[in-house]
Structure 1
Amino acid sequence: GYYVSGDYQLGRRWFTGGRFDWSDRSQFANLTDKGAGATLTYWPSEFSQIRGEYRFTHYAENRNSNELLMQLIFSLGAHGAHPF
């Protein structure tokens, strides 16, 4: 399988992105799953990110999945100085 993804910076703290993936099954290589997603990420500070994602997956059995995902990323501890 493979995937392709990319991000684009909308503003100082806002990013959007997309991803497409294609995956063969390990036991049945003739079955493939395909998916695509779109993300929107906000960086309130250099130590945290808030991300929302919509993901669509089409499974080989002709089933579809729609997902809405939320993610919060943060770091703790010492961090070297650099401009943000």
Structure 2
Amino acid sequence: MQQLNAKYEAPWRVTASVIKMIVSDGSPELLAFDRGWGSGACDDGTAMPRRGDRWVVYYTSNSSIGAAQVLESYPLASASLIDPRLRENVR
């Protein structure tokens, strides 16, 4: 892809610590999420989070100790524009 587009950046994957839950009582300590899913066509251009960045991660899990399946992830500033629960609960 870099040969076709010099600005192309490979998709990324990070592991993050959970610091606050908005819905639910149980939470895994860590969540892994990514962009691109192995394809440049699926990469939405969101920059990789850096240490200390606050993100909102929507996930589901069969149990509080089960492996979480991340459904969506967004920077806090972006997610708070569309999810009213964040404006009330996240500071």
TM-score normalised by length of structure 2: 0.29
TM-score normalised by length of structure 1: 0.31
Choose 1 or 2 for highest CA Rg.
Answer: 1
Q: Which gives a bigger RCO, structure 1 or 2 (Cα 8 Å, sep 6+)? A: 2
Structure with the higher fraction of residues in helix conformation = 2
